[in-house]
């Protein structure tokens, strides 16, 4: 059952105010960290990086030998581009390049679950108290955190389910690939993610990630033997 990984790096990084995917993180581009984790996991037969069409050559310089393909105008369109670019894969794993600290073991875990269940969505059960606020920021009500998850990537799917979801949802746009499957009436399986698997959204996030690297709290994964 061939397994492919698509690392999505086609975003505009507007909130970060800089090109976070190519930003330096411990002497390597942010993108290189996810690629290193993928190789260290030893579970992928193919790896592609999905990049903006206008920046393919630039992203390829940081992709360290991985195949680079053009994405779309939205995250969902980029996921469908990844699906088209990996026709031989029975399972496609989709990961955001902005999550550089994904552990190799998490890649392996979602692949194992997708083989058995058809889908696997990394996430963390919410521990904090949740409150809903109104439009002016006043607290309105406390919300139950029971069975509430904070969603991460990677997310893994059997190819047949992704194809069915794409046929069902048409041109609709979703925040992640799990949402597209749910909209198509396909259940998704949650698996425990990892608290180190943070997303770099703002320039402050990138600065914090650099501090974690500087202090030795995280390190770029070594390739598997």
**In the structure, what pLDDT confidence band is assigned to residue 223 with cuts at 50, 70 and 90?**
low
Task: Tell me what pLDDT residue 13 has.
Answer: 53
- Tell the burial category of 49 from Cβ atoms under 10 Å away from its Cβ (0-12, 13-18, 19+): buried
In the chain, where are the structural domains located?
3-214
3-state SS string for 144-193: CCCCCEEEEEEEEEEHHHHHHHHHHHCCCCCCCHHHHHHHCCCCCCEEEC
**In the structure, what pLDDT confidence band is assigned to residue 83 with cuts at 50, 70 and 90?**
very high
Q: What average pLDDT does this structure show over 40-56?
A: 95
**Least-confidence region, from 79-83, 118-122, 127-131, 202-206:** 127-131
Say how far apart CA 80 and CA 206 lie, in whole Å.
28
- pLDDT above 60 for 169: yes
Task: Tell me what pLDDT residue 65 has.
Answer: 83
- Tell the burial category of 133 from Cβ atoms under 10 Å away from its Cβ (0-12, 13-18, 19+): exposed
- pLDDT above 80 for 156: yes
CATH level 3 topology of 3-214: Spore Coat Polysaccharide Biosynthesis Protein SpsA; Chain A (3.90.550)
pTM: 0.90
More confident residue, 132 or 201: 201
Task: Tell me what pLDDT residue 224 has.
Answer: 55
More confident residue, 185 or 131: 185
**In the structure, what pLDDT confidence band is assigned to residue 17 with cuts at 50, 70 and 90?**
low
Q: What are the pLDDT digits (tens) for 102-142?
A: 999 999 999 999 999 999 999 998 877 777 888 888 787 77
- pLDDT above 60 for 15: no
């Amino acid at each position: 059952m061939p397994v492919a990984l698509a690392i999505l790096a086609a975003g505009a990084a507007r909130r970060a105010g800089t090109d976070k995917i190519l930003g330096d993180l411990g002497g390597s581009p942010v993108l290189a960290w996810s690629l290193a984790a993928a190789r260290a996991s030893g579970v992928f037969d193919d790896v592609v990086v999905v990049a903006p069409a206008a920046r393919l050559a630039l992203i390829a310089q940081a992709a360290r030998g991985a195949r680079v393909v053009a994405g779309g105008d939205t995250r969902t369109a980029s996921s469908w581009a990844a699906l088209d670019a990996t026709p031989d894969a029975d399972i496609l794993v989709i990961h955001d390049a902005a999550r550089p600290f994904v552990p190799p073991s998490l890649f392996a875990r979602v692949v194992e679950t997708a083989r058995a269940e058809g889908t696997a969505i990394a996430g963390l059960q919410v521990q904090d108290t949740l409150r809903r606020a109104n439009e002016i920021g006043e607290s309105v009500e406390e919300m139950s955190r029971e069975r509430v998850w904070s969603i991460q990537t990677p997310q893994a799917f059997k190819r047949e389910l992704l194809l069915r979801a794409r046929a069902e949802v048409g041109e609709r746009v979703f925040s992640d690939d799990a949402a597209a499957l749910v909209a198509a009436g396909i259940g998704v399986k949650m698996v425990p993610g990892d608290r180190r698997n943070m997303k770099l959204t703002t320039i402050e996030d990138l600065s914090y990630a650099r501090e974690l690297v500087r202090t030795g709290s995280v390190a770029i994964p070594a390739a598997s033997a």
